[in-house]
Every structure is written in structure tokens, then in C-alpha cells.
Amino acid sequence: MQFIVHEHPVGRAATNYIARADLAPFGLEGQVEQLWLKAINDETYEVACVPFSVYGLALGDTVLLNDDDYVSAVVGTSRHRTLRFLFIPDLPASDLQPVAERVKTEITAAGLLSEWNGDRFVAVDVPPGVEPSGLFSVMEAVVNAGHAFWEWADAKPFASRS
């Protein structure tokens, strides 16, 4: 089994809980994302990281866990959206570094939270009512140049393997 982990979750706290999301329902058989959660009460948890791979989840959403500590359902939405951006694997480091820095600069300028998985993949939290046009412009130029791909994590609803 391959685990996708969050080394620097935006909502890291001493009392976080780590659970898993099975990625098989999204075509990623054998992969699991470890999610950082904040306990709300005995049964519900709030997502405390910006999801990298699971669809239909965002920072601040409220979820339920099954007995095996897998996310089983979304019971409340924060209305945040997750924007994912992946640089192509064969983009040379000399080309990657300046473009990645522009993306980081625009994320900061927009006041958005983000998490990087390595140096080629970033998940950005976009709160309700925020439209970071500068970030979109930079990302669009990189995608149009054939150097990256992007997607919204809510392009598919959350699903769990029953």
C-alpha cells in the first residue's frame, strides 16, 4: 500500500487525529491518503489539511470515520475548495524552480493556505468568496505551456469503499 502523507499540514495542532482516505474509488488502487483531522465531538472530525488526492474533501469539511479510521462520509462542508497543481515529471529543475517560485509568490500574495508534496505538487485552499486571479493567471500560463496540470478536488464527489 502506498501512503500519501502531509508533512506540514496547515491545521497542525498537538491534538490532531490522523485518519485515512482510501483512494481506490478515485482510480488510485492501493493508495491511501493520510489526513489530519481535528476532533469536533465523539463522532465527527474537521479536515485540518489541504487534501492532495482524495476528491470531494476540503479544509474545514466535517467527516465521519469508520471503525478502521478511514473517512466514511462527509457530513458538513466548509465551502472551501481545493485547487491542485502538478508540474510534469520531465520538466527540468532549471525550468521548474522559477515557475514554482512564481506560484508560491502568488499563493502568498493571495493570502491562501497551501501544502506542497515534494517540489512538483501543491494543493491550495481557496476559501468561499475568494478568487485569486493572479494565481490563476500564473497557473494558466504554465498549463498552457505544457508544463503542468491542474484540477479542482471537488470535480468528483467524495466516495468511500464500503
What domains lie within the chain, and their CATH numbers?
A: 2-76 (no CATH), 81-153 (3.30.70.600)
- Give mean pLDDT, residues 26-54: 95
Whether the per-residue pLDDT at 161 is higher than 80: the answer is: no
- Give mean pLDDT, residues 15-19: 93
- Give mean pLDDT, residues 19-36: 95
- Give mean pLDDT, residues 38-67: 96
Task: Specify the pTM.
Answer: 0.94
Contact 84, 153 (CB under 8 A): yes
Please report, rounded to a whole number, the percentage of residues in the chain having pLDDT higher than 70. Answer: 99
Q: In 44-90, which ranges are E strands?
A: 44-47, 62-65, 71-76, 81-87
Burial of 69 (0-12, 13-18, 19+ CB in 10 A): middle
Q: In 49-146, which ranges are E strands?
A: 62-65, 71-76, 81-87, 113-117, 121-126
| Residue-level pLDDT at 41 | 86
| Residue-level pLDDT at 162 | 58
Whether the per-residue pLDDT at 113 is higher than 80: the answer is: yes
CB atoms within 10 A of CB 128: 10
